[in-house]
Amino acid sequence: MNVNVVCIGKIKDKYIIEGINEFSKRMQAFGKLKIIELKEDGNDTNREISIQKESEEIIKTLEKNKGYNVLLDIGGKNFSSEEMASKIEELGVRGTSTINFIIGGSYGVSQELRKVADLRLSFSKMTFPHQLMRLILMEQIYRWFSILKNIKYHK
């Protein structure tokens, strides 16, 4: 299965980059993983303009990388790791070859992007730093695939 992580902005902290690289390397055993970093708008004076521009860029990227779109959204549905692994397995059985995991900008995403999402996924009601959320997502993606392949990572 092809997995794309579509996100806004670049990671700056070395320890987070190292963690992301480690899980990217581990994922090679399960399929193709690609991280697609899109430019942060950076318009601090008008958040709505930033949200709109960043969301439009994400939507354009999703149109090029057709697949099942999972938007990380605090208002989304909660899954256990096992439930999400089952969801990924179900998608594979249905013939889905690509899953796009989407992390919007720090100000959020537009309603248009929410409508494009096939699934809105919440990790928690808590707020996490944007860069750290990418690392958490990468770890969970690896965990979901290790559950499916019955690898002893998940206990």
- Per-residue pLDDT tens for 53-110? 999 999 999 999 999 999 999 999 999 999 999 999 999 999 999 999 999 998 999 9
Has 125 been labeled as part of a binding site? yes
Has 104 been labeled as part of a binding site? yes
CATH class of 2-148: alpha beta
pTM above 0.75, yes or no: yes
**Can you give the pLDDT at residue 34?**
97
Q: Quick one: 69 exposed, middle or buried, by C-beta within 10 A (0-12, 13-18, 19+)?
A: buried
Has 124 been labeled as part of a binding site? yes
What residue segments make up the domains of the chain, in order of their start? 2-148
Has 128 been labeled as part of a binding site? yes
Has 27 been labeled as part of a binding site? no
Has 72 been labeled as part of a binding site? yes
CA distance 116 to 62: 9
**Contact status, residue 102 vs residue 113, Cβ threshold 8 Å:** yes
Please tell me whether residue 76 adopts helix, strand or coil conformation. Answer: strand
